Chain A
């Protein structure tokens, strides 16, 4: 079975500072990896996805993530945090079983952005 570990349930950064949210995965097959963001009382919004093409993936709102097979990591970064980035972020791996598929999520990281 595949799994995802997100290190740090809460991360606090100053506005303008680098954002780094960590995600490590476990998979017996080449994984599809995703980052989602959730704002209060909302569903999940896809930030970016890795599907075995380029290892550096660029997403929306200035976020990007790098797939590192040797480290089984898929960390999310943004060079300069904005107040509007405050939200909860989820890393997920797609578990493809035959023709079926499902997402297995990490426990989430709540990002706080301070002035």
Chain B
């Protein structure tokens, strides 16, 4: 079966711009989570969506937002990009709480 699909794989943006990343979960998975991975901070939780509702949110500024559609696909948006937003953004989907999370290959965002 198809895995978690993230698009695009690579992105280069300029400071001040905004960006939208997309994630298609495994069919049947209704929970979608987003994580930011950087060399300095490691893997940090951004937010989790379930049935189009944000269930949990990490400690990130309001510039980071997300949403989930009725087909469980999710997008995250970062506005007013800063150099420190350069990271690998990972999406994970799960069938239920506490279960195994399946990760996508990530979107590598570079802010210049």
Q: Report the Cα distance A42→B92, complex, angstroms.
A: 13
Cβ–Cβ contact A43 & B106, under 8 A:
yes
A101 touches B105 (CB 8 A): no
On whether the beta carbons of B103 and A100 are closer than 8 Å, the reply is no
Asked if B64 CB lies within 8 Å of chain A CBs, one says: no
Give the complex CA separation of A105 and B100 in angstroms.
Answer: 14
Interface of B is mostly: strand
Residues of A within 8 A of B98 (CB): 32, 51, 94, 96, 101
A101 touches B42 (CB 8 A): no
Contact string against B for A residues 77-115, beta-carbon threshold 8 Å, 1 for contact and 0 otherwise: 000000000000010101011011111111110000000
Interface presence of A18 (CB below 8 A): no
- Give the top 9 A-B pairs by smallest Cβ distance, nearest first: A100-B56, A100-B55, A43-B103, A105-B43, A44-B103, A101-B97, A102-B45, A43-B105, A32-B98
Tell me the B residues contacting A by CB distance below 8 Å: 4, 6, 31, 33, 35, 42-43, 45, 48, 50, 55-56, 58, 90, 92, 94, 97-106, 108
Which of B6, B97, B99, B102 counts the most A-chain CB atoms under 10 A from its CB? B97
Asked if A96 meets B97 with Cβ closer than 8 Å, knowing A42-B105, A45-B103, A102-B58, the reply is yes
